[in-house]
Structure 1
Amino acid sequence: MGSAYGRGRLHLAAAIDQQAVCGVGAFVELARLAERGALDFVTVGDASGRPGPGPGPGPGPEALAVSARVAPETARIGLVPVVATTHTEPFRVRAAVATLDWVSLGRAGWWIEVSGTEDGARPFGRRRAGSGDVLWGEAGEVADVAARLGDSREGDAGIREVGTGRFVDREKVRHADFEGVEGAGLSVRGPLIVPRPPQGHPVRVVDATEEDSRGTAARYADVALLRVADPAHADTVRKELRDAAAGFGRDPDELRVLVSLRVDLGGGEYAAEPGHGGGGPRQSAHGPLYRGGPVDLAELIIAWHRAGAADGFHLVPIEPHRDLERLVNGTVALLQHRGLFRTFYPGSTLREHLGLARPAHRYAVAGGATGGATGGAS
């Protein structure tokens, strides 16, 4: 299993969602704990979008704002807030995520989500939610236009010549001029007001568990999450995503596929409960659940990764502080002791943690050509 693509470096991430917590100190504490374990990134859920595998954080602060506050309190770990694109303007999304990348010095990502419920649409006072395929088609357009907006300014476009009154080199500023075709009717001119951020394009994460989202994940995501309980299933979907990415003109090795598991390490000193560990986690109403000890969780991670079923894992603690502490001090420490996971960050950006290249500026190419890029390359 997985022999077609082999296996590379193991990647680990964790959710730091918390029920009805508004104080940023709790988020900072968890992010620092994850950073101590050298995890690639943490995700932050948002009440306005599905936060991933679990019942959700409930009412609370906005994920982007929390991440921006956590950024100066951490040094290396990636920060990936959930951003529901269905009711949020693409210009605002890109400006906020680019700002987070600047604030964090190149550690930002965004978990692209959709909101398909009437309860999700009502607070915005806007249109009714569409079907899953339409919503994910719109999300793909938001990802596309966000990349175009991100490249609308070259790095040295700002010149600030006070004497002449010239503050921008207009030759290095371009308009996105994007017209969407999905239900949202996107029409975005640009350019973006925020300079191109340190990573070029902050890392894009998509939950590809459902078939409606897989096309968007294959075309635009840097990281795809899968909430599956069986390694063979994960392997099959991973191959599907990589093949689809290649069909969009992408290098499939530039797509990381992580299995997302809820973890309950409350009985940390005991072996995994039957059906939860060993042979695999148990499927629950909110996604696959592992319940047991950190040692057996490490063995599960090793087995799935060596089989080529996943490039890594996104772990969602049931009890945020308790389980994340046992995850870092137990599971991750064991993986590090065996030489299977890093003990420090060799780079400073999230793209470097994930082994992903910094995207080239679509306009700043040899000879000054200004040809557009395909969606897969954006």
Structure 2
Amino acid sequence: MTTNDSSPRQLHLNAFIMATGHHEAAWRHPHVDPRAALTLQHYVEIARTAERGRLDSIFLADGVALHGNVKHNTHSAFEPLTLLSALAATTEHVGLIATASTTYNHPYTLARAFASLDHLSGGRAGWNIVTSAGQDEARNFGLPSRPDHDDRYARATEFVQVARALWDSFDDEAVLADKASGIYADTERISAIGHVGEHFSIRGPLNIRRPVQGHPLLVQAGSSEAGREYAARFAEAVFTAQQTLQDGQEFYADLKRRLATYGRRPDELLVLPGISPVIGRTESEARDREAELTALISPAHGLAQLSAMLDTRLSEADLDGPLPDVGTATEGNQSRFTLVTELARRESLTVRQLIERLAGGRGHRVFAGTPAQVADEIQEWFEDGAADGFNVMPPTLPGGLDDFVDLVVPELQRRGLFRTEYEGSTLRENYGLARPASRRTATYPKGNAA
């Protein structure tokens, strides 16, 4: 590991929150209450723990279908924007990142919702942009099957362009609230966007003033070729799954290199790989905790999860045999398909072993060790060109996040790698990212507001 104690560069840490934890058997753990995932207080406790640890943000994943895991697992039932709006009232500093689909939403309603969360939270909103790869999601919206991969990204491109234009349809100084003159808003500073495109026709303007951050922080998680190009064009933080340091370094360098095409600098996008740390005060304790979770895995659930990742039905697969032929590509989540199939081949894993490897993080890196060993792992990736920080995925909740905040964060702070106080009041400020200037006056005509 290279070290550079004089470097001012600091880690960014996001807490990825998933019901009772990221390990698929977390709900069965003796220290976990599986019914807590349906209560607001569960998430209030988690968000406050993240804030106590000075983490940059919390993040909620989402899908728009009931996936086939509820027989053997809990699931996150709350719509993320609704839940994060409640958490905005119980926290002061931690960022609030919600997943929302560009395939099954409309830009006007989603731009309005994220602007609302940004105002309600004082500038802490972030949007994890997804294109929804599941077949069951498509059927919930009246489609016989999901749109193909490239079509989903084409729609997502136009979607984000329109959302940004809508956020910019109000100038920052449009609202005057001048009691003496009786003028509340300067309508010369509020404009229609007049967008007519392949997927959307939207007049505008938005019916809420420009967000506190200018735009909510834009996050993306796709690592396919289309996903990387999309991230280089739009994203300001990328959540990614990489199994090895070398894979992480290659992804990091490739993504940073692509930014120049869009006139962007490498520091305008943060790469945050996922890590699911099983933490023990001794190495033996950490290994015992990992084994305890592994023993609780349901093979039927594991096969269902694996089938979803590979977009192939594997319910009849031999658990103690090699991974069956699943082809070479999918119209679903292409990057995760590649990661899982390469892992199985590279390590000659049986289906059972593959299920156990994926149970803790669904392809993200799982690491069991002491607080110092977890900090070593984080520091190595951070200093050797594989990460700007991490998307922390506690194996159980709330206990797994308590362990990280109480044991690993102080170790990172002692090494000078992580903040001891928040730098700013907004998510962008804490991520070290600039507030975007309004592009409305340069792009759209004035004076068209209703």
Structure 2 length-normalised TM = 0.72
Residue 399 (structure 2) aligns with: 322
Contact 2:65-2:136 at 8 Å conserved across structures: no
Q: Using the alignment, how far apart are the partners of 1:92 and 1:284 within structure 2? A: 36
Partner secondary structure for residue 367 of structure 2: strand
The CA deviation at 1:166 is 6.3
Q: Using the alignment, how far apart are the partners of 1:269 and 1:227 within structure 2? A: 27
Letter aligned with residue 353 of structure 1: N
Contact 1:85-1:113 at 8 Å conserved across structures: yes
Residue 240 (structure 2) aligns with: 226
Quick one: structure 1 residues 232 and 371, their matched pair in 2 at CA, closer, same or farther if it must change by over 3 Å? same
Name the structure with the higher helix share.
2
Q: Using the alignment, how far apart are the partners of 1:290 and 1:48 within structure 2? A: 30
Letter aligned with residue 205 of structure 2: P
- What are the residue-to-residue correspondences of 1:367-378 with 2, within 5 Å? 370-371=442-443
Q: Quick check: which has more Rg, 1 or 2?
A: 2
Letter aligned with residue 38 of structure 1: R
Letter aligned with residue 33 of structure 1: T
The CA deviation at 1:129 is 1.6
Quick one: structure 1 residues 312 and 7, their matched pair in 2 at CA, closer, same or farther if it must change by over 3 Å? farther
Residue 211 (structure 1) aligns with: 225
For residues 189-238 of structure 1, the C-alpha deviation after alignment (integer angstroms, 9 at most, x for no partner) is 21111100110011011003333311111100000121001122111111
Q: Using the alignment, how far apart are the partners of 1:150 and 1:229 within structure 2? A: 37
The CA deviation at 1:57 is 6.3
The CA deviation at 1:293 is 3.2
State yes or no: 1:116 paired with 2:128.
Answer: no
Letter aligned with residue 294 of structure 1: P
Of 425, 431, 441, which aligns to 1:354? 431
Contact 1:225-1:314 at 8 Å conserved across structures: yes
Q: Using the alignment, how far apart are the partners of 2:49 and 2:261 within structure 1? A: 39
Q: Using the alignment, how far apart are the partners of 1:7 and 1:129 within structure 2? A: 45
Which runs of no fewer than 5 residues in structure 2 stay unpaired? 21-34, 291-355, 445-450
| Range 331-340 or range 73-82, more displaced | 331-340
State yes or no: 1:30 paired with 2:43.
Answer: no
- What are the residue-to-residue correspondences of 1:2-21 with 2, within 5 Å? 8-19=9-20, 21=37
Q: Percent identity?
A: 36
Residue 367 (structure 1) aligns with: none
For residues 255-286 of structure 1, the C-alpha deviation after alignment (integer angstroms, 9 at most, x for no partner) is 11111123333x45325659x9xxxxx96261
State yes or no: 1:245 paired with 2:322.
Answer: no
Quick one: structure 1 residues 172 and 263, their matched pair in 2 at CA, closer, same or farther if it must change by over 3 Å? same
Q: Using the alignment, how far apart are the partners of 1:57 and 1:357 within structure 2? A: 38
Quick one: structure 1 residues 167 and 124, their matched pair in 2 at CA, closer, same or farther if it must change by over 3 Å? farther
Residue 98 (structure 2) aligns with: 81
Partner secondary structure for residue 310 of structure 1: coil
- What are the residue-to-residue correspondences of 1:1-378 with 2, within 5 Å? 8-19=9-20, 21-48=37-64, 58=75, 60-126=77-143, 128-159=145-176, 168-181=185-198, 185-265=199-279, 267-270=280-283, 284=358, 286-288=362-364, 289-364=366-441, 370-371=442-443
Quick one: structure 1 residues 100 and 56, their matched pair in 2 at CA, closer, same or farther if it must change by over 3 Å? farther
Quick one: structure 1 residues 357 and 50, their matched pair in 2 at CA, closer, same or farther if it must change by over 3 Å? farther
Number of aligned residues: 352
For residues 28-74 of structure 1, the C-alpha deviation after alignment (integer angstroms, 9 at most, x for no partner) is 110100111101111012242899xxx99625010010000000100
Q: Using the alignment, how far apart are the partners of 2:131 and 2:92 within structure 1? A: 30
Contact 1:332-1:341 at 8 Å conserved across structures: yes
Quick one: structure 1 residues 67 and 34, their matched pair in 2 at CA, closer, same or farther if it must change by over 3 Å? same
Contact 1:49-1:113 at 8 Å conserved across structures: no
Contact 2:272-2:389 at 8 Å conserved across structures: yes
Partner secondary structure for residue 113 of structure 2: helix
The CA deviation at 1:292 is 3.2
For residues 92-123 of structure 1, the C-alpha deviation after alignment (integer angstroms, 9 at most, x for no partner) is 11111111110110111011112122211222
Q: Using the alignment, how far apart are the partners of 1:340 and 1:13 within structure 2? A: 15
Letter aligned with residue 29 of structure 1: E
Partner secondary structure for residue 320 of structure 1: coil
Quick one: structure 1 residues 7 and 87, their matched pair in 2 at CA, closer, same or farther if it must change by over 3 Å? farther
Residue 376 (structure 1) aligns with: none
Which runs of no fewer than 5 residues in structure 1 stay unpaired? 277-281, 365-369, 373-378
Structure 1 length-normalised TM = 0.85
RMSD after superposition? 2.9
Q: Using the alignment, how far apart are the partners of 1:89 and 1:127 within structure 2? A: 20
